[in-house]
């Protein structure tokens, strides 16, 4: 019979946010059961297996980034940024949605890097520019906002690489993609007319 781990211990071993681990359990990615008190217990065997995977699982990037973003919000990293104070609740919701779309798009890009993604990169850059413009951000503040999220995505990639859950060229591909989205955003923000 396999051993069972509590949420905190399993999350630490996998280096993911507890909400991400709950999501994996809900999707059947990891075995779990609930104690009579309602607490989740996670299969130690599955935790070890997930931690030892060597093939890339791009869905993990999505979950890891969502977890990194939740951690950043809960520890006040967003609230401490001057540009974030300009976001009303609607803008914050749009920022979250845009971040999810960016990561979903990034996962699609990573699954097929040979395809020409120029049109899609330009579109997501324009969407970031539109949000920045509507929130009254300068080009510099728009870049600062994008860099914060960029850092969360790169941190997720680094965490997955450290856990041997990604292929070696992933960091380079992610970096290229994020840089191109930022360039598209800046070009849309500075375009005359």
Condensed to tens digits (0 to 9), the pLDDT of residues 120-174 reads: 999 999 999 999 999 999 999 999 989 888 888 887 777 666 555 445 567 788 8
Q: Could you tell me where in the chain the CATH 1.10.1660.10 domains are found?
A: 4-52
Mean pLDDT of 95-101: 84
Say what the pLDDT of residue 130 is: 94
From residue 21, give the alpha-carbon distance in Å to each of 13, 119, 128, 184: 11, 34, 29, 34
When comparing pLDDT for 135 and 80, which is higher? 135
Instruction: Give the tokens for residue 148.
Output: 């914060």
Instruction: Give the tokens for residue 60.
Output: 């993990």
Q: How confident is the model at residue 113 (pLDDT cuts 50, 70, 90)?
A: confident
Q: Could you tell me where in the chain the CATH 1.10.490 domains are found?
A: 58-190
The rounded distance, in Å, linking the Cα atoms of 100 and 106 is: 10
CATH number of 58-190: 1.10.490
CATH class of domain segment(s) 4-52: mainly alpha
Burial 31-64 (b: 16+ CB within 10 A, else e): ebeeeeeeebbbbbebbeebeeeeebebebbbbb
DSSP label at residue 2: -
Mean pLDDT of 47-64: 63
4-27 pLDDT, tens digit per residue, is: 999 989 888 877 778 778 877 887
Burial label for 80, CB within 10 Å (0-12, 13-18, 19+), is exposed
When comparing pLDDT for 50 and 141, which is higher? 141
Q: Taking the model in full, what pTM does it have? A: 0.63
């Amino acid at each position: 019979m396999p051993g069972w781990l509590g949420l905190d211990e399993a999350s630490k071993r996998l280096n993911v946010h507890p909400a991400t681990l709950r999501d994996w359990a809900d999707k059947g990615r990891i075995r779990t059961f609930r104690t009579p008190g309602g607490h989740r217990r996670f299969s130690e065997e599955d935790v070890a297996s997930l931690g030892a995977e060597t093939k890339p699982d791009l869905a993990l990037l999505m979950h890891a980034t969502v977890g990194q973003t939740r951690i950043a919000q809960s520890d006040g990293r967003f609230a401490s940024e001057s540009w974030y104070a300009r976001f009303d609740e609607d803008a914050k919701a749009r920022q979250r949605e845009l971040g999810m779309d960016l990561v979903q798009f990034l996962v699609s890009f990573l699954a097929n890097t040979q395809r020409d993604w120029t049109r899609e990169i330009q579109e997501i850059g324009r969407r970031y520019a539109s949000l920045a413009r509507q929130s009254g951000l300068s080009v510099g503040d728009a870049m600062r906002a994008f860099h914060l999220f960029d850092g969360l995505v790169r941190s997720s990639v680094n965490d997955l690489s450290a856990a041997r859950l990604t292929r070696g060229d992933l960091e380079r591909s992610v970096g290229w993609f994020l840089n191109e989205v930022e360039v598209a955003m800046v070009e849309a923000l500075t375009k005359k007319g």
